[in-house]
């Protein structure tokens, strides 16, 4: 399986090269040149597999240059850190199926991809003899999942910038109580945007990037997408084995990474997945895209589901490439036009194509709060605010006879404040959170200056 760029500017590369490249060198995103066909025999065999076994089968279709025995080990190791035997269990509440993606070490769905990516990085660096300093900025969730993905790993250091005192207490503690020597928490005296701007500037300093072998861990890495394809297939096979013909999924969306994995799963399992419901909060760029055929930037507003407070959906270009029938010249032109004008408009024919695959709803904070409250009073089940956005959209779009699977992207205790406001009591802390505040922590508070961050990397980075 080879990989190319959405913008057509690179020669085909292998899976492992794509993982190490992250963003394509021509500024585009990496995609496989073709999709494997899954035979009926294969599908029948997949229905009886455990999550790690299925993950191995699905990922091996894409990671063709990692020897099978090695890949199996990487996959098993990645999902052994989850605290549920099914890794991503389905639980039915009324006429909704909740797929719980929060059983990993940081209690959010990003663990599914980042546990795997961390192991793949370590494996590839051991083979090449190289080293890597991962640098990233976080508003909370990605940072902790990335830290847990690489803590204690050889040949990898990680530097995560978070805005000092502007992430939740639990998010801060999840990051700063990781004491492994290769983990460096930098709390910057500024905002998340300041952090992102610094990271971007440092990556643009090509000499520095080269000297310190800087690596990124953001949601555009193909290995992350591929790891997320697995749970869509896992859920679709479970429900179709029980008699459903087709399944719908509702996905709380920010960067379009998770739902793009659903799009890939839909291509791999023709006929099994009917529609993907793209659920957004008030930051509704992608809802307007699906419903009105317009992709245009607006100001980011802060909501109770902060991991979806995003206007620029970094994985969107991947879908655009397929919408434009794999025409890389056209994709490149559209992305250039978008960065100049902040706006793209789609034709009626394109809109028709979009609506055959996606439905969409934007759910505001009041509806989110009501959904958490209603779900709790009806079923005694507590939704986190991100999940609630997806559940509300899923309830609105559900059709009789087609099971609606709503992806639960975070444990409610991670966003306890919003949950408490909705149900009048605090969600119970999972075991791994108990006593977090009493643990030792390590974090360096630094001014939001590029030079200070570079100095931190120069001081403790691998070379």
Ligand X SMILES: *Cc1c(COP(=O)(O)O)cnc(C)c1O
From the candidates 77, 110, 209, 414, which is the catalytic residue? 110
If the CB atoms of residues 135 and 308 are measured against ligand X, the closer one turns out to be 308
Residue 101 C-beta: closest distance to ligand X, Å: 9
Return d(Cα 438, Cα 130) in angstroms, integer.
37
Pairing of strands 90-93, 96-100: antiparallel
Return d(Cα 197, Cα 144) in angstroms, integer.
20
Pairing of strands 156-163, 3-5: unpaired
Q: Does 221 bind ligand X (CB under 6 A)?
A: no
CB proximity list for 12: less than 8 A, separation 6 or greater: 2, 3, 4, 33
Among 89, 252, 403, 412, binds ligand X (CB under 6 A): 252
Stretch in the footprint of ligand X (CB under 6 A) among 15-23, 165-173, 251-259, 421-429: 251-259
Bridge partners (DSSP) of residue 32 are 3
Binding characters for ligand X, 201-220, by CB under 6 A (x = yes): ------------------x-
If the CB atoms of residues 123 and 256 are measured against ligand X, the closer one turns out to be 256
Active site residue 110: yes
Residue 45 C-beta: closest distance to ligand X, Å: 29
Among 141, 282, 284, 317, binds ligand X (CB under 6 A): 141
Are 249 and 45 a contacting pair, CB within 8 Å? no
Q: Does 308 bind ligand X (CB under 6 A)?
A: yes
Q: Within 10 A of 128 (CB to CB), how many other CB atoms are there?
A: 11
Residue 177 C-beta: closest distance to ligand X, Å: 19
Q: Does 253 bind ligand X (CB under 6 A)?
A: yes
Q: Does 108 bind ligand X (CB under 6 A)?
A: yes
Residue 307 C-beta: closest distance to ligand X, Å: 3
Return d(Cα 432, Cα 106) in angstroms, integer.
9
Q: Which helix (H) or strand (E) holds 160?
A: strand 156-163
Q: Does 346 bind ligand X (CB under 6 A)?
A: no
Among 72, 272, 318, 386, binds ligand X (CB under 6 A): 386
Q: Within 10 A of 398 (CB to CB), how many other CB atoms are there?
A: 17
Total binding residues for ligand X by CB under 6 A? 16
Q: Does 255 bind ligand X (CB under 6 A)?
A: yes
Residue 220 C-beta: closest distance to ligand X, Å: 10
Residue 255 C-beta: closest distance to ligand X, Å: 3
Burial class (CB in 10 A: 0-12, 13-18, 19+), 450: middle
- E strands, 20-107, are 30-32, 90-93, 96-100
If the CB atoms of residues 74 and 108 are measured against ligand X, the closer one turns out to be 108
How many helices (H) and strands (E) the chain has is answered by 19, 15
Are 353 and 262 a contacting pair, CB within 8 Å? no
Q: Does 410 bind ligand X (CB under 6 A)?
A: yes
**Residue 307: both structure tokens together:** 């991991």
Among 258, 282, 284, 317, binds ligand X (CB under 6 A): 258
Pairing of strands 273-280, 247-252: parallel
Stretch in the footprint of ligand X (CB under 6 A) among 30-38, 180-188, 249-257, 440-448: 249-257
Residues that bind ligand X (CB under 6 A): 108, 110, 141, 219, 252-258, 307-308, 386, 409-410
- Which residues are the active-site residues? 110
């Amino acid at each position: 399986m080879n990989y190319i760029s959405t913008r057509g500017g690179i020669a085909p590369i292998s899976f492992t090269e794509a993982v190490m490249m992250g963003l394509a060198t021509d500024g585009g995103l990496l995609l496989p040149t073709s999709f494997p066909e899954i035979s009926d025999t294969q599908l029948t065999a997949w229905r009886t597999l455990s999550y790690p076994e299925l993950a191995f089968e699905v990922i091996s279709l894409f990671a063709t240059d990692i020897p099978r025995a090695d890949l199996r080990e990487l996959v098993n190791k990645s999902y052994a850190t989850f605290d549920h035997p099914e890794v991503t269990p389905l639980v039915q509440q009324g006429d909704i199926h909740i797929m719980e993606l929060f059983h990993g070490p940081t209690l959010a769905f990003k663990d599914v991809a980042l546990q795997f990516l961390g192991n793949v990085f370590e494996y590839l660096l051991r083979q090449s003899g190289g080293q890597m300093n991962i640098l990233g900025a976080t508003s909370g969730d990605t940072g902790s999942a990335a830290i847990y993905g690489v803590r204690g790993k050889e040949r990898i250091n990680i530097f995560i910038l978070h805005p000092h005192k502007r992430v939740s207490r639990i998010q801060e503690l999840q990051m700063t109580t990781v004491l492994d020597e290769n983990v460096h928490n930098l709390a910057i005296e500024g905002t998340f945007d300041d952090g992102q701007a610094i990271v971007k500037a440092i990556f643009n300093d090509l000499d520095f990037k080269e000297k310190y072998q800087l690596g990124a861990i953001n949601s555009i890495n193909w290995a992350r997408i591929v790891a997320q394809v697995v749970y869509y297939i896992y859920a679709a096979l479970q429900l179709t084995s029980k008699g459903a013909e087709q399944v719908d999924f509702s996905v709380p969306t920010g960067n379009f990474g998770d739902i793009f994995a659903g799009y890939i799963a839909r291509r791999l399992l023709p006929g099994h997945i009917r529609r993907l419901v793209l659920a957004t909060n008030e930051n509704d760029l992608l809802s307007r895209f699906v419903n009105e055929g317009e992709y245009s930037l607006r100001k980011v507003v802060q909501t109770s589901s902060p991991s979806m407070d995003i206007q620029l959906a970094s994985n969107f270009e991947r879908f655009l490439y397929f919408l434009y029938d794999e025409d890389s010249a056209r994709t490149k032109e559209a992305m250039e036009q978008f960065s100049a004008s902040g706006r793209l408009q789609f034709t009626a024919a394109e809109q028709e194509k979009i609506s055959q695959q996606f439905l969409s709803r934007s759910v505001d904070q009041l509806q989110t709060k009501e959904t958490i409250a209603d779900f709790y009073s009806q079923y005694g089940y507590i939704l986190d605010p991100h999940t609630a956005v997806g559940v509300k959209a899923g309830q609105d779009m559900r059709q009789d006879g087609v099971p609606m699977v709503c992806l639960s992207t975070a444990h409610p205790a991670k966003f306890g404040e919003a949950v408490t406001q909705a149900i009048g009591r605090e969600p119970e802390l999972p075991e791994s959170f108990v006593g977090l505040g009493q643990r030792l922590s390590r974090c360096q508070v630094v001014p939001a200056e590029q030079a200070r961050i570079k100095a931190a990397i120069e001081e403790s980075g691998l070379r």
